């Protein structure tokens, strides 16, 4: 998924819990769904960031040479400005973009 195109807010927004729990009817189940999706998003973003920063990696251990790479700083700042994974997951839940399944109750929702 391209997180740069996410319309999720970058700061906390007050949300109506009744709207978030319409599919599950359980607040705790909704929180678990959002938390698990946020963890997936965080892992994907971390892998993408590491992949981009890998080309700047210096494999020599010399404390006297400290390189300040402007491109590396800009990439890091860009990722810091992106919405947090939890906010992206909440936005996906509101837009019905999350597929979830509860094996205990047999209920599921969303697209595969």
The pLDDT score that the predictor gives to residue 58 is 67
- What are the residues whose beta carbons fall under 8 Å from the beta carbon of 91, sequence distance 6 or more? 6, 7, 8, 9, 83
pLDDT tens profile 47-85:
998 898 888 776 665 555 556 678 888 888 888 889 999
Contacts of 37 (CB under 8 A, 6+ apart): 89, 92, 93, 98
Q: How far apart are CA 10 and CA 84, in angstroms?
A: 7
Q: What is the pTM of this model?
A: 0.78
pLDDT tens, residue by residue, 91-107: 898 888 888 887 777 77
Q: Taking every pair of C-alpha atoms in the chain, what is the biggest distance, in angstroms?
A: 60
Q: What are the domain boundaries of the chain?
A: 16-57+66-109
What is the C-alpha separation between 36 and 29, in angstroms, rounded? 11
């Amino acid at each position: 998924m391209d997180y740069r195109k996410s319309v999720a807010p970058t700061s906390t927004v007050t949300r109506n819990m009744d709207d978030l729990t319409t599919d599950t009817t359980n607040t705790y189940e909704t929180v678990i769904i959002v938390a698990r999706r946020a963890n997936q998003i965080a892992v994907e973003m971390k892998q993408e960031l590491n992949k981009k920063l890998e080309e700047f990696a210096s494999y020599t251990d010399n404390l006297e040479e400290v390189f300040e790479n402007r491109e590396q700083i800009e990439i890091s700042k860009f990722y810091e400005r992106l919405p947090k994974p939890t906010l992206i997951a909440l936005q996906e839940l509101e837009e019905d973009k999350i597929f979830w399944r509860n094996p205990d109750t047999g209920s599921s929702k969303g697209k595969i």
